[in-house]
Amino acid sequence: GESVGLHLPTLSVQEGDNSIINCAYSNSASDYFIWYKQESGKGPQFIIDIRSNMDKRQGQRVTVLLNKTVKHLSLQIAATQPGDSAVYFCAEVYSGGYQKVTFGTGTKLQVIP
């Protein structure tokens, strides 16, 4: 399938290393954040989420860190595998009134075997 990450920032990581993907969000009132993974030819898939009253949340091989002071979100992937190669998007949600999901610019992760 055709890549959706032609012009996106790219992170190249050796297989087995840890990956850190960063995201800056825009709305200080956003109260919920989500990371999505989009493989070539597919729609984005949920990876992990975090509420604004948390600063860290762990899943299976993934950890999300939230720094509200600087409006920064990161996704850490442990022991990166070839199957992790994809474009990763963060999304912020502001729940006040109309719950709108706003996506960040995305980062393409390339895993080098």
Alpha-carbon distance 104 to 33, whole Å?
11
Radius of gyration of the chain (CA): 14
Give least dist CB 43 to another protein, A.
3
Q: In the set 5, 19, 21, 37, which binds another protein (CB under 8 A)? A: 5
**Site for another protein, residues 33 to 92, rule: CB under 8 A:** 34, 36, 41-46, 48-51, 89, 91
Alpha-carbon distance 63 to 49, whole Å?
9
Q: Which residues pair with 33 in a beta bridge?
A: 50, 92
Q: In the set 17, 55, 103, 112, which binds another protein (CB under 8 A)? A: 103
Per CB under 8 A, 26 contacts another protein? no
111 φ/ψ angles, rounded to the nearest 5 degrees: -100, 125
What is the contact surface with another protein in residues (CB under 8 A)? 2, 4-8, 32, 34, 36, 41-46, 48-51, 89, 91, 93, 95, 99-106
